Chains A and B, each alone.
Chain A
């Protein structure tokens, strides 16, 4: 009955491949905004702007489960930006990978220093 919390959780590369299907990801074309230093990893405000994207996946590379959110934009989306508050377990890079309308992938990366981790213990 005991469930190991780590079981079944994919690595960062697997999460990226799961989203891109193995396609090449080009850095640039996406703006990811996150604080340089997050005192409290429990709630870190991030936002992204990915003009022309149909979907964006946020990945926290240093979290026990790297996937954070996948944002799909519908026909009435005003622009391809979104702001969220996320949990970061420790100091790490946060990635935003955008799937563009033409099927290509773009990404942005921001390093965030975390003073108090946000995954409990």
Chain B
């Protein structure tokens, strides 16, 4: 597992049923592209988050394949439909096999 990886997600606490809400996510990760070289001129091996998914109550919202051209600390903003109260599950998949997960519940007013 890469050091100091911390996912952060911003989801409204409540919404009306059927509302479209904006979700902002950020995960601290160096996203080593594999193109850089160290001081000795040796290539630094690639280590990035290669996939991000968001599901709500088991249904998919978004599924993104990320490449080395995504910046350090990947920021992703998207929107989701909220048909009922429930839980968002966010997952980030690291090249080294780690999966970082974050969950957020939302109430329907």
Contacts and interface: CB of A to CB of B under 8 A. Distances in A.
Contacts of A78: 20-22, 61, 78-81
B59 A76 contact: yes
Nearest to A74: B60
Given A75-B60, A78-B21, A84-B70, A70 B76 contact: no
Given A63-B69, A79-B20, A83-B76, A5 B43 contact: yes
A92 to B, nearest CB: 11
Given A65-B68, A76-B61, A5 B76 contact: no
Contact of B59 (A60, A68, A74, A82): A74
A119 B33 contact: yes
A72 B64 contact: yes
A82 B62 contact: yes
A99 to B, nearest CB: 13
Contact of A5 (B34, B60, B69, B79): B34
B67 A65 contact: yes
A68 B67 contact: yes
A77 B62 contact: yes
Interface in B75-89: 75-81, 83
Interface of A: 3, 5, 42-44, 47, 60, 63-65, 67-79, 81-88, 118-121
Given A65-B67, A81-B79, A87-B68, 19 more contacts: A65-B69, A69-B65, A71-B64, A74-B55, A76-B81, A76-B83, A77-B81, A78-B78, A83-B77, A83-B78, A84-B70, A84-B74, A84-B76, A85-B71, A87-B69, A88-B69, A120-B35, A120-B36, A121-B36
5 contacts: A68-B69, A69-B70, A76-B80, A120-B35, A120-B36
